Amino acid sequence: MEALKNSRNLTQNITLIAVSKLQPVESIQEAYNCGHRDFGENYVDELVQKSQVLPQDIKWHMIGHVQSNKINKLLTIPNLYCIHTIDSINLANKLQLKLYQISRDLEYFLQINTSGEATKAGVRPENSKDLLHHISLNCTNLKFKGLMTIGERGNSEDFLILNQVRLELSSHFSLPTHSIELSMGMSGDYEEALIHNSNYIRIGTSIFGERKA
């Protein structure tokens, strides 16, 4: 947990998300007791279970793929802070429908597949304008926060690509560049991600150690 105790040394516009996937509630509570509040989970069912027993001022970040049949369950979490993984019109539309029904707004990141790997989710960079345009017009309960990527291991080119997508969206939609935040960087490459303007780094192993399952 030493990394958490030192996290406040980061500049104000950088948030450390402690990725607690498959970690026991006790480990998350220990991190919370160190003063940390931003946690990331990959699985909806696990996030729902943990959110019910952990402090309600935690900011939960959904950083895994969201299946359509899990949306209702996900949106029961009152302290769900944002979703980092919107990558299709279909997912955005289904989230919007439920958010409208429950009169709730939710911040989100567009997930961009910067590496082109078929095994990774995310919209291709060249399709990001169309997706953001659709969401902005039709999904008014979703509030655009920024861009997220899971880069290819050891390839900082993905961080450069995400910065380029940000510049293109900023110009196209007349948004201040700094208002489009970047979620990129994990335990193995967060230092490189910070050099390339990341605002949210997602760290699990370096905080909690190897997963228990």
Q: What is the DSSP letter of 177?
A: G
Place 211 in a pLDDT band, splitting at 50, 70 and 90. low
Residue 198: alpha-carbon gap to chain centroid: 12
Q: Residue 153's pLDDT is what?
A: 75
* Tokens 């309600």 found at: 56
Counting Cα atoms < 13 Å in the Cβ hemisphere of 201 gives 28
How many angstroms separate the CA atoms of 18 and 140, rounded? 29
Rounded alpha-carbon distances, angstroms, from residue 69 to 74, 92, 164, 207: 10, 13, 33, 31
The torsion angles phi and psi of 82, rounded to 5 degrees, stand at: -165, 165
Q: Residue 119's pLDDT is what?
A: 86
Strand pairing partners for 15? Answer: 200
Q: What is the DSSP letter of 98?
A: H
pLDDT over 70 at 48, yes or no: yes
Q: Residue 213's pLDDT is what?
A: 53
pLDDT, greater one: 156 or 131: 131
List pLDDT tens digits, range 50-77: 999 999 999 999 999 999 999 999 999 9
Cβ-Cβ contacts under 8 Å for 2 (sequence gap 6 or more) = none
List pLDDT tens digits, range 90-141: 999 999 999 999 999 999 999 999 988 888 999 999 999 999 999 999 999 9
Query: Can you give the residue ranges of every domain in the chain?
Result: 2-208
Counting Cα atoms < 13 Å in the Cβ hemisphere of 71 gives 19
On whether the CB atoms of residues 87 and 67 are closer than 8 A, the answer is no
- 2-208 fold: TIM Barrel (3.20.20)
Place 212 in a pLDDT band, splitting at 50, 70 and 90. low
**Alpha helices in the chain, H assignment, sequence order:** 2-5, 25-33, 44-53, 71-74, 89-101, 128-138, 157-173, 190-195, 205-208
pLDDT, greater one: 168 or 5: 168
Residue-averaged pLDDT of the chain: 92
